[in-house]
Amino acid sequence: MAPLCAARLFAMNALEVTPISETFGTRVRGQQLQNLRAHPKDVETIQHLLVHRGVVVLSDVNIDADQFVDLGQLFGEVRPARIKDKSLSPPASEYVFVGRRTSDNIPSKLTRADVAHIWHADYSTAGPIPKLAAQYTVNVNDGGGWLSFADMRKAYATLPPATQAQLRGLGAVHYEHPVGVDVEPPGQAAALSWEERHKGAIHPLVMISESGIPQLCLPARPDSPVQGMDEKQSAAFLELLWSHALSNGEPWDIEPKTGDIVIWNNHAIAHKRSEWPLDKERLVWFITTH
């Protein structure tokens, strides 16, 4: 993927477009971000960036929860939230997952909403993987946590041809551990039995994007079953693939600021989240789309 020419895109519309890294990730600014529906050409630009750059950060945005859902609908069908939050009213409450901490509501330890140490694609354990995911940082203290991304298209493209051939037709079970991908780092949570690990959604280890680009699709848990392999073989194979992906997927980090909406291609870009420090306040909204 060639580096993005920010100046050329800037001349095409009113958006200020700045590459974050040489190969993927782009920051976008512009007053029209407050009402993208009224600017279809800008929507097309952002859609193009999501396809080719993987991650787009819309900065300096100030919208309410209903407008956030409306923005998501410009890029796909917004999925209902798995956990409803009483702080929002319909229709936003049906779709927006809320992460919140205030100075008068600080837990004694990290909770499931505070951290996702493990590289993953959102909701891969529950059926079809959402196409896009978006996080809107409504309000946050500085130092309130990082998002990390790795390009699984680049990871696949740099695999040896023999390994690419081995992957064809292979799938893996994406099972949900009781602690999710949240508090415990990989290997620290108690392991489930081999039989329990077969209860989950099965996805191919290689997915093909709408533009025809192959991308690795790896289960978050490295002890997940790979079809046609026993427990030992699965673990060794997934360890090899994840090690390669994180060495060749060009991982990078971003600390979202107040007013940032981070949108990423949930099929092609693996991500993880660092812990929100217990002394930091925050209000974050999250949606996914098909």
Q: What is the pLDDT of residue 7?
A: 39
Distance CA 10, CA 23 (A): 18
Mean pLDDT on 262-277: 90
Q: Are 61 and 259 in contact (CB under 8 A)?
A: yes
CB atoms within 10 A of CB 213: 16
Confidence check: pLDDT of 85 > 80:
yes
Half-sphere exposure in the Cβ direction for 160 (13 Å, CA)? 5
- Listing DSSP states for the chain in one string gives -PPP-HHHHHHHSS-EEEESSSSS-EEEE-GGGGGGGG-HHHHHHHHHHHHHHSEEEE-S----HHHHHHHHHTTSPBPPPSS--TTS-TTGGGT-EEEEE-TT---SS--TTT-EEEEE-TTGGGSSPPSEEEEEEEEE-TT---EEEEEHHHHHHTS-HHHHHHHTT-EEEEEPPTTTTTSSPTTTSPPPPTTGGGSEEEEESEEE-TTS-EEE---SSTTPPBTT--HHHHHHHHHHHHHHHHHHS--EEE---TT-EEEEETTTEEEEEPPPPTT--EEEEEEEE-
Q: What is the pLDDT of residue 282?
A: 85
Question: Domain ranges in the chain?
Answer: 6-150+252-289, 152-248
Any idea which of 74-78, 137-141, 160-164, 231-235 has the lowest mean pLDDT? 137-141
Q: Which fold has domain 6-150+252-289?
A: Double-stranded beta-helix (3.60.130)
Q: What is the pLDDT of residue 70?
A: 97
Q: What is the pLDDT of residue 103?
A: 67
Phi, psi of 238 (to 5 degrees): -70, -35
Neighbouring residues of 65: CB distance < 8 A, sequence distance ≥ 6:
88, 92, 93, 96, 285
Distance CA 120, CA 169 (A): 21
Q: What is the pTM of this model?
A: 0.90
Confidence check: pLDDT of 182 > 60:
no
Beta bridge partners of 288: 133
Residue carrying the six token digits 């949930």: 266
Q: What is the pLDDT of residue 89?
A: 94
Same fold, 6-150+252-289 and 152-248: yes
Residue pLDDT, tens place only, 125-166: 988 999 999 999 999 888 778 899 999 999 999 999 999 999
Q: Which fold has domain 152-248?
A: Double-stranded beta-helix (3.60.130)
Reading the block at residue 17, the tokens are 């477009």
Mean pLDDT on 37-66: 95
20: left (phi over 0), alpha (psi -120 to 50) or beta: alpha
pLDDT bin (cut points 50, 70, 90) of residue 8 is very low
* Cα separation values, 96 from 83, 85, 137, 287, Å: 8, 8, 12, 5
Strands 55-58 and 282-289: unpaired
CB atoms within 10 A of CB 34: 15
